[in-house]
């Protein structure tokens, strides 16, 4: 997502898909190292947990996430953004590492084939969308679902929260890189993605309902899909 606001008569760019050159190579290398650890763990999850009947579901989720990330959502002040899909992947597949696995595949295709997001900073993008989005989405859903015993509002909140937190982490990364000030970055990224997160949460809840309705065998029950 690329959104712009004015800062001291200059254009300030706030992003979830960070492009190349927005983060120094030394900082980007650190994010790549962290991302590779989680990618390795996600590959182990795939080897151990991705049964044959789940392969089509993983493919559909990856294609769906690719599609929703390609759709820019207009919001006030002439800005736009897109959804993320990490919470949905983690909830449906039952692990935050599933979100890392799926989002890594999506980001590689986007970055290498379509130039959406950078190659050198792909580690940061994987951390923000796959790791932060997946873990926040999964565990917030799990806690909320246990508390309220209704997976659909829990999925809505988890989808919203996963996008919101990932956006704030992105703002911190960009501030460390010196791309724009931390306070303004947190305010702008938080505000924009609080709005976009409503759509993200709605898609997460509706998709979970549709998957359970169409293929309940892929999930234990709507009240225990992450068990």
User: Can you give the length of the chain in residues?
Assistant: 227
Entry pTM: 0.87
| 131-182 pLDDT, tens digit each | 999 999 999 999 999 999 899 999 999 999 999 999 999 989 989 998 888 9
| Diameter over CA atoms, the chain | 56
Residue 134: helix, strand or coil by DSSP?
Answer: helix
Low-confidence ranges of the chain (pLDDT < 70): 1-16, 72-81, 220-227
> Do 155 and 139 meet the contact criterion of CB atoms below 8 Å apart?
no
**Long-range contacts of residues 217-226, Cβ cutoff 8 Å, at least 24 apart:** 217/53, 218/53, 218/54, 218/57, 218/92, 219/92, 222/151, 222/152, 223/145, 223/149, 223/150, 223/151, 224/145, 225/91, 225/92, 225/94, 225/151, 226/90, 226/91, 226/94, 226/138, 226/141, 226/142, 226/145
The per-residue pLDDT for 68 is: 85
The per-residue pLDDT for 45 is: 94
Q: What would the two tokens of residue 175 be?
A: 């501030």
The per-residue pLDDT for 7 is: 45
Would you call 126 exposed, middle or buried from its count of C-beta atoms within 10 A (0-12, 13-18, 19+)? buried
CATH class given for the domain over 22-218: mainly alpha
The per-residue pLDDT for 117 is: 74
Q: What would the two tokens of residue 46 be?
A: 């795939």
Residue 223: helix, strand or coil by DSSP?
Answer: coil
């Amino acid at each position: 997502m690329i959104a712009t606001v004015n800062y001291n008569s200059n254009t300030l760019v706030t992003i979830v898909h960070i492009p190349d050159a927005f983060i120094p190579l030394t900082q980007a290398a650190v994010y790549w190292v962290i991302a590779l650890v989680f990618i390795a763990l996600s590959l182990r999850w795939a080897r151990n947990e991705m049964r044959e009947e789940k392969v089509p579901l993983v493919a559909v989720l990856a294609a769906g996430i690719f599609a929703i990330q390609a759709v820019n959502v207009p919001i006030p002040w002439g800005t736009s953004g897109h959804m993320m899909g990490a919470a949905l992947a983690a909830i449906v597949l039952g692990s935050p590492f599933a979100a890392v696995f799926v989002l890594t595949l999506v980001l590689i295709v986007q970055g290498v084939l379509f130039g959406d997001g950078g190659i050198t900073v792909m580690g940061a993008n994987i951390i923000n969308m796959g790791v932060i989005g997946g873990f926040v989405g999964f565990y917030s859903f799990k806690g909320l679902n246990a508390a309220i015993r209704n997976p659909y509002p829990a999925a809505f909140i988890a989808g919203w929260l996963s996008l919101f937190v990932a956006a704030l982490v992105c703002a911190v990364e960009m501030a460390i890189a010196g791309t724009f000030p931390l306070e303004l970055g947190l305010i702008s990224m938080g505000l924009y993605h609080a709005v976009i997160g409503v759509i993200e949460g709605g898609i997460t809840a509706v998709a979970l309902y549709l998957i359970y309705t169409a293929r309940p065998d892929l999930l234990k029950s709507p009240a225990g899909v992450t068990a």
